[in-house]
Amino acid sequence: MSKVTVFALKDGLLRTSPRLEYFWAAFGQAPVATLGSLISGKRVEGVELRADLLPVDSEMLARMNKAKAAGDSVALAEENEPKLAHALAAQYGVDVVSETSGPLQMRDSGWQVKSLLKAIRPHQWVKNILLLLPLLAAHRFDGGSLMMALLGMVAFSAAASSIYVVNDLLDLEADRLHPKKCKRPFACGTVPLSVGMLTGLLLVCIALGVGAYLGPKFLAVTVLYVFVSVAYSMRLKRMRWVDIFMLGSLYTVRVVAGAAAAQVEVSGAMLFFIFPVFLTLGAVKRLTELTLAKTDDHLPGRGYGRLDRGKLLNFAIVSMIAALVVFYFYTLSAQAVALYPDRWFLWFAMVPLAAWLWRMVRLGYYGKQDYDPIVFALRDKRGLGLIMITLSLMFYAAGLWAKWLGF
């Protein structure tokens, strides 16, 4: 009689928790019903997991194949997951057992901190440098204002990382279909979903705690950012064009947060200028993804296909032109007259600014960017040079160079 070797699902063949996989798949489709299911104990109907996409432990799979080669009977434990167990059993050519009398084959369920750090994406914190824009626009460079803005960056970095965690948990299936995102820690199973959930909760508590310290205005902006980000992750990013406006809005909220943290006024003219800039960058983000896509199908979890590249390019160009037009009219405003004695240098600043925006659009169209345009922009040497030239001309127009150099 052949030996029967039974493998566990959770902490066995799979590098993920089926129960939590079902929860996040259901929460992305029907959040209210999913929260209600926590009370009733019943799963949301109509939610199925793709067994072929779930992360499998390579060592356990090798042990399974070795047992089969030795002539042993191999089976998966049902573990209250009959559909999933049978789907996996059919995929790997093994049986399913509902009850086991012997020990289950299980793996080491440990995980590494560096994998969790990858999940919270600390490299994305650099985007929160946008909180310093109100200080630059208001020519406020005192230490107190800068310190408050830096604390605001800490709060938004924690908030952003918590949203990245939630986004990855909601996008498990879509990420596993993506050529690069399939390597994200939760998608590939290197970090347990439960650890991600606890980390996300801790990070949002840090964000709200620092936000409360910085005052009610900043706290309100932080809560708004978290709320809109979650709505974006759950629904809005799947809606054509709406997601670009939401990307632009989330970038703009960072600027408003910087003003609230440092207690400086953010002008309407500034917001009218930066919003179309961020719309341009949002379109560039989608252009990059579509250019790098392998097929003409819609991007996983998105409403765009490669046939939309032309429309996105036109949108990016129109947004770029709108930003430059707003900037020009700002140079004619009373505020510009007050802040920039030699404001005609602002017109010169429009040249490198336009060159930078066009560079971003062009590189996105040809797929020569990262998937996040802000992160790319902050390490693009030529682009940074154009930004530095723009800022230098604006500082000269404001008379700041003469003030700093003692002329």
- The DSSP annotation for 213-240 comes to HH-HHHHHHHHHHHHHHHHHHHTGGGST
User: pTM value?
Assistant: 0.86
**278-322 per-position pLDDT tens digit:** 999 999 988 888 888 777 777 766 777 788 888 999 999 999 999
C-alpha to C-alpha distance for 49 and 193, rounded to whole angstroms = 15
What is the distance in angstroms between the CA of the first residue and the CA of the last residue of the chain? 96
- Give the count of alpha carbons within 13 A of 99, CB side only: 1
C-alpha to C-alpha distance for 349 and 232, rounded to whole angstroms = 34
**182-195 per-position pLDDT tens digit:** 999 999 999 999 99
CATH number assigned to the domain covering 113-266: 1.10.357.140
Closest among 299, 186, 320, 179 to 248, alpha carbons compared? 320
Domain ranges of the chain: 4-97, 113-266, 267-407
Token pair in block for residue 21: 């996989």
**335-360 per-position pLDDT tens digit:** 788 888 888 888 999 999 999 999 99
The contacts of residue 88 (CB under 8 Å, 6+ apart) are 9, 13, 14, 51, 54, 76
Chain-wide mean pLDDT for the chain?
88
- The DSSP annotation for 159-213 comes to HHHHHHHHHHHHTHHHHHTSTTGGGSHHHHTSS-HHHHHHHHHHHHHHHHHHHHH
